[in-house]
Amino acid sequence: MKKNLPNAITILNLASGIMGILFLLQGNISYAIYMILFSSLFDFLDGTAARLLKAYSDIGKTLDSLADVVSFGVLPGLILYSSLSTAGAESGYSAYLPYAGVLVPVFAAIRLAIFDNDTRQKENFRGLPVPANALFIGAMAYIYVNIPDSFLHFDTRSFVYLCIGTSILQVIMIPFISLKFKGMNIKTNLYKYLILIISILFIAIFKWEGIALSLGFYIAFSIIAAKKEPEHQLPEEQMTEE
């Protein structure tokens, strides 16, 4: 029973992604964006449960990637498409602009395929994790649609560039800190604690803007940490493995 618990949580991740798509079909973008939050929570919990219970399996790995493609690829891509379909037309941009949303699941799928077959990414990530990108796109879409007076409300063109830019970061082999905790030791998890604490503060103070700001901080901090602390990067012999 306990060996199937992580897979059950993964299914909740997938179900949340599907629910988000259904909300979009009903024209409710905000509820769809909330589903990304639920999927992210379940994605965090299934990995945590697998590590605690040592319940790893090839089926679980495949199921996790399939769920992530839907929840963190297809859903945010459709949210971007839906957001631009209305606002983009009103601002005079090309009717083809919303189709930029297609690139989101494409890059997410490539990222997940690389991750599943790259032995270098056991401890730290290479490329922006798909849940982080989905959360960013969801937060920016919520701001774009619902908070026009926000300090992070960009014009349509900038909004598209930002979302596509972070999607491309998923397949660029830049080191990113993994937030997978192994134990609670502060010294070995210092960077992870700093990212979590600052992200919580951002979200508590700025709400939806805080989610977007947290991702920006995560990207910058990961790059700076990789340059200052080479021991946190993977060994050179692992980096050159096929």
pTM of structure: 0.87
Distance from C-alpha of 3 to C-alpha of 28, rounded to nearest angstrom:
36
- Of the candidates 140, 129, 64, the one whose C-alpha atom is nearest the C-alpha of residue 101 is 140
Closest to 84 measured CA to CA, from 203, 164, 20: 164
Query: Per-domain residue ranges for the chain?
Result: 2-178
| Contact yes or no for 152/162 (Cβ under 8 A) | no
Distance CA 19, CA 14 (A): 9
When the pLDDT of each residue in the chain is averaged and rounded to a whole number, the result is 86
Model confidence at 232, pLDDT cuts 50, 70, 90, reads very low
pLDDT band per the 50, 70, 90 thresholds, residue 68:
very high
| Level-2 CATH architecture, domain 2-178 | Up-down Bundle (1.20)
Q: Give percent above pLDDT 70 in the chain.
A: 85
Convert the pLDDT of each residue in 127-171 to its tens digit.
899 999 999 999 999 999 999 999 999 988 899 999 999 999 999
The answer to whether the Cα torsion of 36, 38, 44, 50 is positive or negative is negative
pLDDT computed for residue 92 by the predictor: 59
Question: What's the mean pLDDT in 94-120?
Answer: 88
Pairing of strands 125-126, 175-176: antiparallel
